[in-house]
Structures are given as structure tokens and as C-alpha cells.
Amino acid sequence: MSTFQADSQQLILALSKGRIFEDTLPLLEAAGITVTENPETSRKLILPTNDPDVRVLIVRATDVPTYVQHGAADFGVAGKDVLLEHGGEGLYQPIDLHIAECRMSVAVRNGFDYDTAVRQGARLRVATKFVETARAHFAKKGVHVDLIKLYGSMELAPLVGLSDAIVDVVSTGGTLRANDLKEVEAIMDISSRLIVNQAALKMKRERLQPIIEAFERASKK
Ligand code: ATP
Ligand code: PRP
């Protein structure tokens, strides 16, 4: 097995498995890049492409900005939700790819009187993976909250009394409905962005710029 070594000729792209990988494939194709192994069936974390100088790292969605910030990947694709929690340090964010579209929302149990709870000024217990976004949202509203950090299955928290509300991404609303929850506030629209390491953009601009432009053209279709 060859060792992993980034050099000035090579481009390393960080992607997460699932919807972001699937939705980025057509954009890569538009730039002439085909990923030649499937991350759902391969156990490899570094995937080859048809271009020997371009490889794809498969990482957790929340880790994509970290790999790109530190230059372990030259560029990546990450949701706005993930980027807001990360803070965006060291990242150039040239384009909204309009993929993995959803919204960040506040949800509570059916039957919970959210408006009254907020009006009465009692502290609201909010469970979420998105603590920075939740903190900013409730601070702007002047609502006092106790934030409970979770890493997944947020919908469970109000059902078992861990929290009064959750902040999570919603698309069809199916997960909320299946768990007897209702959306009470939409905080912001979410989509995924192309992110580029700032140093790589300077050092590898000749290689990166045509890919950025191809992504931009393809994502507008
Ligand atoms: P991690 O693996 O780090 O826990 P994750 O499970 O949230 O992350 P994905 O489910 O692949 O990772 O989501 C990737 C991105 O897709 C999210 O950051 C968000 O921007 C967006 N997303 C999440 N859920 C949906 C959805 N139901 N519909 C559309 N886009 C979504
Ligand atoms: C996301 C999110 C919600 C769900 C919302 O989960 O955490 O649970 O999508 O989508 P909906 O409104 O269409 O039901 P995802 O499907 O990514 O599962 P995961 O968090 O386990 O990856």
C-alpha cells in the first residue's frame, strides 16, 4: 500500500459519506473527475479518482472543515450548519453548491406551549448538536437557555424529558412527525458549501481554480 503524502501537484478533497458524497459526484464529473471507488462498499478512507493527482478523503461531516483548515485536505464540501459550529477559521468559502438543502429549526413536543414558555421568561432546556447556532439564536431573542450538547438522535430528548426543545436540521419534517414533535421556529436555510484551504488556494490556484469554476457552473444548473 502506498503511503499518503500530499505534494504540490496533488489535490486532496475531503467529503463525508452519504448525501454530501452523492451530491458532489455530479459536480466532480463536471470538472472531469470521477471517483473510482464507492465509499459505501470500500473500507478505504482515501479514494482514488481517474486523475492520479486527485484523491478523496472520507471523513465525518463535522470533521471536513478541520481537515481543510489544517491543510490535510486542500478543499472539501461542508454544510452551513457544520461551518457555523466550526467558525470558518482558515477557510475560503467561494460557493454555495445548493446541495443537501434543509433548514435549521427549533422543535418541541406536540402539546408543549413554546410561545408561552418563551414569553414567561423561564429558562428553556435546549438539546442540540449545534450549540453555537442555538446560543446565537436564543441570545438574539433574549431567551435564557440551558444548552445540552448531543451528537445525534436529538428528537429523543424532548420525548424522555431531557430537554424542552431541540435545535436540529429539518428537511421533509418526517422525522419530527414520526416522533410526535412539531417545528416551532425556522432559524435559517442550510445548504452545503465548497470550502478551500486559504494557503492551498494561493499555492495551487492553477489546479483549484478550474475545479471551483466547474463546480460553480454545475451547481447553478
Ligand atoms: P456526522 O456524521 O458528523 O454526525 P451527519 O450525520 O449530520 O454528520 P449527514 O447526515 O451526511 O452527516 O449530513 C451532512 C449535511 O447534510 C449536514 O451537515 C446538513 O448540512 C445536511 N443535511 C442533514 N440532514 C439533512 C436532510 N435530512 N436533508 C438534507 N440535508 C441534510
Ligand atoms: C437528519 C436530521 C434529522 C433528519 C431530518 O438526519 O438529523 O433527523 O435528517 O430530515 P427530515 O425532516 O426529512 O426527516 P439524517 O437523515 O441525516 O440521519 P443521521 O443524523 O443519522 O445522519
Q: pLDDT per residue over 27-71, tens digit each?
A: 999 999 999 999 999 999 999 999 999 999 999 999 999 999 999
- The C-alpha cell at 134 is 442555538
In ligand 1, the atom with minimum distance to the C-alpha of 19 is: 11
- The C-alpha cell at 90 is 482558515
- The C-alpha cell at 94 is 467561494
Q: Could you identify the residue written with the cell 470500500? A: 42
Domains and CATH numbers, the chain: 11-100+191-219 (3.40.190.10), 102-189 (3.40.190.10)
Q: What string of pLDDT tens digits covers the 221 residues of the chain?
A: 445 555 567 999 999 999 999 999 999 999 999 999 999 999 999 999 999 999 999 999 999 999 999 999 999 999 999 999 999 999 999 899 999 999 999 999 999 999 999 988 889 999 999 999 999 999 999 999 999 999 999 999 999 999 999 999 999 999 999 999 999 999 999 999 999 999 999 999 999 999 999 999 999 76
* Ligand 2 neighbourhood includes 173 CB (under 6 angstroms): yes
* DSSP result, 88-116: -TTEEEEEE---S-EEEEEEEETT--HHH
Q: Which one of 15, 19, 98, 155 would you pick to mutate in the ligand 1 pocket, going by the greatest count of ligand atoms within 8 A of its CB?
A: 19
Residue closest by Cα to atom 31 of ligand 1 = 100
Ligand closest in space to the Cα of 183: 2
**Helix (H, G, I), strand (E, B), or coil: what is residue 43?**
coil
Span from the CA of 100 to the centroid of ligand 1 (angstroms): 7
The values of phi and psi at residue 139, to 5°, are -65, -40
In ligand 1, the atom with minimum distance to the C-alpha of 172 is: 27
Cβ proximity of 188 and 109 under 8 Å: no
Question: What does the pLDDT read at residue 121?
Answer: 82
d(CA 109, CA 155): 9
Residue closest by Cα to atom 22 of ligand 1 = 100
Q: Which one of 82, 128, 170, 181 would you pick to mutate in the ligand 2 pocket, going by the greatest count of ligand atoms within 8 A of its CB?
A: 170
Query: Taking the CA of residue 193 as centre, how many other CA atoms within 13 Å lie in the half-sphere pointing to its CB?
Result: 19
Span from the CA of 9 to the centroid of ligand 1 (angstroms): 31
Stated pTM of the model: 0.95
